[in-house]
Structure 1
Amino acid sequence: MLKTLMALVDGKPVCVILPSDREVAMKKLAAAVGGISAQMMKPADAERMTGYKVGGISPLGQTRKVRTVIEETALGNEYVYVNGGQRGLQLRIDPRAILDLLEALAAPVAA
């Protein structure tokens, strides 16, 4: 089970996908995308940016294309579950498909 979080790295939006029981290591996230500092995006800004409500933000089908980072350990699974765009809706998907579909970067960003 993966969660989708929205962050800002040097003021630019980044979508982060990681196991639901882990937290984002902000320094690792910033370094992964070549930035200096990172912080979580405010919920209202995340909703406006993605077109989804917090708690149901999906990495797929967001209203704007943003840089996406997936925790590299997720790639060790044959399938993962991600939010499908509303609370309670989960999609089963190969994590490598997320890399391809979103042109995502796999990096160690979990704390």
Structure 2
Amino acid sequence: MPPSPPSRAGYYQRQPTGYRAFLPQSLPPEPPVEVDLGLLSEADRALARLDAATEFLPNPDLFVALYVRREAVLSSQIEGTQSSLIDLLAHEAGSPRAGSPTDGGKVGQSSLPAS
């Protein structure tokens, strides 16, 4: 089977094993990429500090899980929920705080992986 007609993004081509692979077009050279070595160096140093900090954590996976929940709270607040990170953690622990909004369960659902 011949390759599909090329599009701006690329084209599909049948592979020897029978499946079709998408082959993207080459990226255009315009606008030219400008590398800011100062920003690149700053980002590299920040990643090195984060990597060093994880050496002192007894369980880095728990640290990451907390940040996933924090991001879920912030995303849910954009959608109008009223929960805080403390509300979500209390809800997950099974002891909702008195006077806290009831949106903790909604936020908790958004931090779980899709099944």
TM-score after normalising by structure 2: 0.20
Q: Which has the larger radius of gyration?
A: 2
Specify which structure has the bigger relative contact order, considering alpha-carbon pairs within 8 angstroms and separated by 6 or more residues. 1
Higher strand share: 1
